[in-house]
Each structure stands twice: as C-alpha cells, then as structure tokens.
Amino acid sequence: MTQPDCTTPSPVLVWVPGVAGTVADGSEPFRIADADDPQLLVTDLVATRGDGVFETIGVFDGAPVNVGPHLRRLGRSAQLVELPSPDLDVLSRAIDAAIEAHAPVPELTVRVMMTRGVEGTGTPTAWIHARTADDWSRYRAGIRVVTLDRGLSTTVAETSPWLLAGAKTLSYAVNMAATREAVRRGADDVLFTSTDGYCLEGPTSTLLVKRGDTWTTTPASAGVLPGTSIASVFAMLEREGQSVREELMTPADVASADAAWLLSSSRLAAPIAQLDDTPLTVDTERTAQILAVLKGQDPQSA
Ligand code: PLP
C-alpha cells in the first residue's frame, strides 16, 4: 500500500455534534472543521476504551457508493454496542458536505465515526473524515493470503453476543495485529478461520468464492460483518442468473475453488492468488466486473 504523497489534497473533516439529534436550534447539525487542528478530547471513550463504531465509504469520481447500506450498518453497530441511534439523514448530508469540500480526486475514502463521547456526558462524538484513498492497485492485481485462527467458533454471535462479532467497532487493534502477522509470514492479507474449522472473513474484508456458476460467501450468522460490497456483487450476479449463497466453507474448499476474492468498500476486489501454500487462479475478467460494480459503475463496461 502506498501512502498519498505531499501533493495529495488536504483531507476534510466534518464534525457532527448533532449525530443523535442533539442539536435542535434549527442550524445544520454539523460543521466543517480544520482537519489539521486537534479536535478529539483525550477523555473521549474512543481514546480511552476504543468505544465506538464506524464505517468506511468509497467515493469514485465524486460519487459515494452504498451510502444507505453503510449508514444502516452504522445504526446496527450502534445498536449492538448500545449507543444512541445516529440520525442517518444528518450523517448523509454531512458526508455530502465532506465530499463537496474535498478537492476532486478519482478515489476518496470517507470514514464515518461515532464514539461513546467524553466520559460522563452520555453524548456521542461523531465526525466524517474524507481523504484521498490509498493506492490499492497492487491488491487489485492479486494477493497472497494466510489463514489465521480467530479463536472464536461460528456460533459466537449466539453464544457470546458481548464479543460484538459482526459489529463494526473502533476496536480494530486485533484486526491490525493479524494483518501485521500476515506480513511477517510473507503474505499480504489474512483470512480468519473459526475454531470449528471454517473460513470467516478478512480483518477488513468479506470472502467471495466462485465454483462454476455458484458464488458463495460466509453466512453473517457465523459472526462476520455483513458486507456492503458482497451485497452489491451478489445483486449483480443474481441479475446475471448466477447462483449465490451463504454457506460455511473450509480452507480446503476455498483453495480448490475456481477463484476467490476479498472484498471491501475501499480496496474493492482483491483476488486471492495464493491461500497458504496453494496457488489460486486469478479471474481477471470477473475481477474487472466486480471492481466496476463496487465503484458504482456498469459492470458491462469493464
Ligand atoms: N469484514 C470486516 C471485518 C470489515 O472491516 C470490512 C470492511 O471494512 C468488511 C468485512 C467489508 O465490508 P464492506 O464491503 O461493507 O466494506
């Protein structure tokens, strides 16, 4: 991954004090703030406890993709961690304001953050941060993936809901540690497995597997994040008459598939070129179509 260089346009910050309907004086409940100025208080529970939820939205040529599904998922994550319900209309307008205020770039990454707020206040903190996307072109060409045991079973969401499996929380230190472990093992990314032997998801991505005309992903009930990207790809495939399903797969199932990808909103489609020691075929044609659909474009034009 290449970091943006010093010619990269400045990021934009939109501060959203009215995320939970807490600003009621008739003014727009958000304001553009200086992204280079300190904003967050050290007593915010996201700083002291990692207590918050977030979303990452891809914006391609100025057009954000899947805003509704992302915001609905933010609402679901907030519910799972017992935060007040975010006002999705306010957030949607704040996202538009952030995109509008950013210099035009081909790919923008917009983060929507909501925390439990400053300790003792009970008022959530929220902001939108829009920045030029990292360069993911290398990932989009094919990646080496290692399986790592997440240490949780596929029944975790039911048996231990307090572990927040499937919520997009701001406690991503474990996900980042797993990614560093992948690099130590000479790979680019991780496919988490469950203690009962099934593939789950990547630290920041959803698994997609192709076998003939059948396309499979991990069921959300196994404790994975319900991905917005997989929903878009499945909708495209269903329009084509392909068969799509959610089913548990073992690493051997994935290694013997026709092709497999890790999907996410900013990195889009990363074809798996190697899973542990097994090489996989990279389906460049399908990858191009999936990339197009995840950028909000017509897959037929790919
Ligand atoms: N799974 C996890 C753990 C993630 O963090 C993400 C995205 O960041 C995804 C899956 C993919 O979700 P989406 O396609 O909505 O970006």
Model ipTM? 0.99
Range of the domain at 246: 137-301
Ligand 1 pocket test target in 199, 264, 295 with most atoms within 8 Å of CB: 264
Q: Residue 1 has what pLDDT?
A: 47
CATH of the domain at 290: 3.20.10.10
**Tell me: the pLDDT tens digits for 268-290?**
999 999 999 999 999 999 999 99
Measure 25 CA to ligand 1 centroid, in angstroms: 36
Q: Pick from 132, 148, 180: which residue ends a domain?
A: 132
In a domain, 31, yes or no: yes
Does 98 share its domain with 31? yes
CA of 196 to the centre of ligand 1 (A): 22
Say whether both 291 and 238 belong to one domain. Answer: yes
Burial 134-167 (b: 16+ CB within 10 A, else e): eebeebbebbbbbbbebebbbebbeeeeeebbbb
Strand partners, 149: 193
Residue 297 is given by DSSP the state S
Q: Is 225 in the pocket of ligand 1 (CB under 6 A)?
A: yes
Q: Kindly state whether residue 5 falls inside one of the protein's structural domains.
A: no
Task: Tell me the per-residue pLDDT of 103-153, one tens digit each, with 9 for 90 and over.
Answer: 999 999 999 999 999 999 999 999 999 999 999 999 988 999 999 999 999
Residue 227 in domain: yes
Last residue of a domain, one of 99, 116, 132: 132
